[in-house]
């Protein structure tokens, strides 16, 4: 099955997604069309990536019969209207994280996808890296025992970036960065938390600046998640169990390494390092380890070949859970947007 992609928006993330697709066999993946707000921008993107069709505006992409699935790489605040447009036209959709600004928006998208009987998925690309696949295998095998503690941080000095500073587009650290430690915690524990508490600070524009979130899970397990848009944090994840621990070094959200320490006796420890290099591409990426988008894209193709409407590795129920956690965290620190009142 050759999956024909339509690309919605022509920004940096869309660039990296398309370049990552180029590392996969052309008989499996191709880009059929791209759409941007302006035809000029769409044509420039199409010329750069040798895409045959460029649209100014998104309606034409939604109506293009040569497109099997649409990848949405737009800003947070337009995920809902764009998903409704493409899902409403019966298109399969892969939308970048965070899927919606709150749980209500996510639920609205999911309901429409189910009504139209199409594939729908949030772009949690982290889960498809070979390193993350190995991580899940280690957890499933019980090599580090019962997981009791998960720690992750994601902080970068990006507060001056327009999309981060602007509340109107769903800015802030929680929605942009915080989704990564949240989805990782949900993956590690495999269930929704019992409680969520967040403390933090706001910027002058009213979006979150630095936050610390504590999640309590069943089986007396705790996750602590930190984000910041003003300082660089360790940007790694640590999973501690009763028989060992796993460290996912920076950048944990697009990992290529694992450090696994297990007990081999009453006092002895054994540490193994796993490395998973990424393939090279002919064109340039704009963000770290973006070749990893290829694993997410191929998983989507496999799901569609099997007739699935959602991906078991990044299911829609977890997207709802993540939206609930992020919404709770925003409420705790006083970051409110108009969409919360609808």
Query: Which residue(s) pair with 34 in the sheet?
Result: 7, 54
CA distance 208 to 175: 9
* Burial class of residue 140 in the structure, from the number of CB atoms within 10 Å of its CB (0-12 exposed, 13-18 middle, 19+ buried): exposed
Strand pairing report for 257-263 and 269-275: antiparallel
The answer to whether the CB of 342 falls within 8 A of the CB of 102 is: no
Please say if 97 is a catalytic residue. Answer: yes
**188 φψ region: left (φ > 0), alpha (ψ -120 to 50), beta (else):** alpha
Task: Catalytic residue, from 84, 97, 134, 280: name it.
Answer: 97
- Tell me which residues are annotated as active site: 97
């Amino acid at each position: 099955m050759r999956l024909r992609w339509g690309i919605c928006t022509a920004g940096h993330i869309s660039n990296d997604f398309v370049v990552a697709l180029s590392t996969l066999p052309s008989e499996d993946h191709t880009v059929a069309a791209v759409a941007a707000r302006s035809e000029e921008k769409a044509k420039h993107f199409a010329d750069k990536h040798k895409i045959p069709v460029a649209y100014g505006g998104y309606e034409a992409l939604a109506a293009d019969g040569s497109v099997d699935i649409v990848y949405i790489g737009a800003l947070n605040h337009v995920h809902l209207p764009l998903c409704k447009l493409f899902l409403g036209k019966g298109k399969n959709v892969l939308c970048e994280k965070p899927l919606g600004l709150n749980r209500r928006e996510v639920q609205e998208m999911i309901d429409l996808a189910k009504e139209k009987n199409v594939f729908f998925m949030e772009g949690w690309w982290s889960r498809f890296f070979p390193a993350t696949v190995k991580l899940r295998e280690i957890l499933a095998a019980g090599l580090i025992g019962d997981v009791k503690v998960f720690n992750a941080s994601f902080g970068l000095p990006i507060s001056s970036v327009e999309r981060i500073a602007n509340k109107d587009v769903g800015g802030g650290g929680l929605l942009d960065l915080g989704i990564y430690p949240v989805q990782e915690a949900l993956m590690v524990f495999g269930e929704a938390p019992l409680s969520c508490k967040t403390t933090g600070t706001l910027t002058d524009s009213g979006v979150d600046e630095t936050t610390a979130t504590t999640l309590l899970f069943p089986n007396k397990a705790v996750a602590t998640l930190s984000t910041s848009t003003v300082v660089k944090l360790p940007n790694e994840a640590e999973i501690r169990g009763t028989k060992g621990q796993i460290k996912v070094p920076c950048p944990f959200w697009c990992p290529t390494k694992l450090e696994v320490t297990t007990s081999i006796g009453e006092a002895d420890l054994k540490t193994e390092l796993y490395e998973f290099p990424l393939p090279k591409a002919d064109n340039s990426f704009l963000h770290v380890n973006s070749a990893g988008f290829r694993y997410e894209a191929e998983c989507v193709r496999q799901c569609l070949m099997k007739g699935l409407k959602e991906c078991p590795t990044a299911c829609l129920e977890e997207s709802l859970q993540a939206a609930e956690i992020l919404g709770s965290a925003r409420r705790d620190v006083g970051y409110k947007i108009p969409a919360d009142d609808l």
